[in-house]
Amino acid sequence: MNWFRFTIATSWLLVIQVASAQSTTSLRHLADLREGVTRRRVSSNDPTGGNNDRLENIAPGKRQTLIYAPGPGTITHVWVTIASSERYHLRRIVLRAFWDGEDNPSIECPIGDFFGLGFGEANYWSSAPLAVADRGMNCFFPMPFAKSARIEIENQGEQPIRAFYYHVDYETYEPESDAARAIEHQGRFHAWFNRRITQKDDHENYLVLDAEGKGQFVGVVMHIQALSTGWWGEGDDQFIIDDGFVPNLKGTGLEDYFCGAWNFNLLNREFNFPYFGYSRKGNPHPDYTGRHSMYRFHIEDPIPFEKSLRFSIEHGHANDRGDDYSSVAYWYQTEPHAAFPPLPAVDLRVPRLHPVGGPGSDTK
């Protein structure tokens, strides 16, 4: 094997090993020692050595950089917890990330939604890449960068953020190391938030992701507030891969895509597994109202695309009703990516009840 073929082979082997190390079912590669790798952390640690380990009184409208790191490297873990007296602050604070000096953020989400929390409210839940415990929000998605990584928050609320605690753990690589060369073959991490209140007789699908470029889709967290009685989950998941109008992948119902069954009602409880779950359950059958959260991560089965990917949830067939949908899609792709639509204004992100009609509603 010549040097070129050897380099490509070892680089892709490293990519496979890194991907395998993310699996919760195998610890096989933890003993593999890597050359030219340094572990680092940026945090809200008190520089005086005291216990004031936080950013304080972040004013409305202020942007605060959490980390700027030169590459090559990979962010391996982000932990955040927030003290704020403002209701729904988890939807008012915006998280953004920029890779390799790009102008358009690759992550732009309300901070709670990025960590899988819907409706601007905290609740316990767990998965392999995302988990929340005691208002401690965690992300383990690897986020590689070649030149630089910058993560910021923006307070779009009306009150100061009293205290913001965080860790960003990352690795840096020596320029000629195998880890550094592997970065050139890896996609950059992206996350996009969407919210829409559907209407009865509106047959437009709910959009989860519309991406352009080469990459792979790795998951979604979705939240639904049922605004009338009756089952809201008959919309099929539909993936259109690399152009066209007919879905390449089409499912059999919303709860089926999220790896559940029978309207999530057989066990009548929440469940959290590494790659899928129903992390918040509203009112059970036959009502189905309240707030519901579910997730599906394609860790073992990512969905690749060469040119584009459009993922939507069918609406207007057996689920012709009005409900409050929100979601965050997670994927990796080459840069540059298509610029995201403008993030909805704060008053269009925080929970509101709307008369929408449909079963069990007084509005026709």
Predicted local distance difference test score (pLDDT) of residue 24:
47
How far apart, in whole angstroms, are the C-alpha atoms of residue 153 and residue 111? 8
How far apart, in whole angstroms, are the C-alpha atoms of residue 119 and residue 353? 12
Give per-residue pLDDT as tens, 48-77. 999 999 999 999 999 999 999 998 999 999
How far apart, in whole angstroms, are the C-alpha atoms of residue 262 and residue 285? 11
What domains appear along the chain, each with residue ranges and CATH number?
A: 36-185 (2.60.120.1390), 189-348 (2.60.120.1390)
**Is the predicted pLDDT of residue 165 greater than 70, yes or no?**
yes
Predicted local distance difference test score (pLDDT) of residue 285:
78
By three-state DSSP, how is residue 292 classified?
strand
Q: Would you mind telling me the total number of residues written for the chain in this entry? A: 364
The amino acid present at 11, given as its one-letter code, is S
Q: For residue 166, give the H/E element and its range.
A: strand 161-173
Predicted local distance difference test score (pLDDT) of residue 66:
98
**Residue 201: pLDDT band by 50, 70, 90 thresholds?**
confident
Predicted local distance difference test score (pLDDT) of residue 159:
97
Q: What Å distances lie between residue 234 and 15, 264, 315, CA to CA?
A: 38, 12, 8
**Residue 321: pLDDT band by 50, 70, 90 thresholds?**
confident
How far apart, in whole angstroms, are the C-alpha atoms of residue 63 and residue 154? 4
**Is the predicted pLDDT of residue 356 greater than 80, yes or no?**
no
Predicted local distance difference test score (pLDDT) of residue 199:
83
**Residue 120: pLDDT band by 50, 70, 90 thresholds?**
very high
What's the whole-number mean pLDDT along residues 331-336? Answer: 96
User: How much is the mean pLDDT over the chain?
Assistant: 88
Phi, psi of 280 (to 5 degrees): -145, 125
> What's the pTM value of the predicted model, to 2 decimals?
0.89
Of 191, 173, 190, nearest to 182 (Cα)? 173
- Tell me which of 255 and 363 has the higher pLDDT: 255
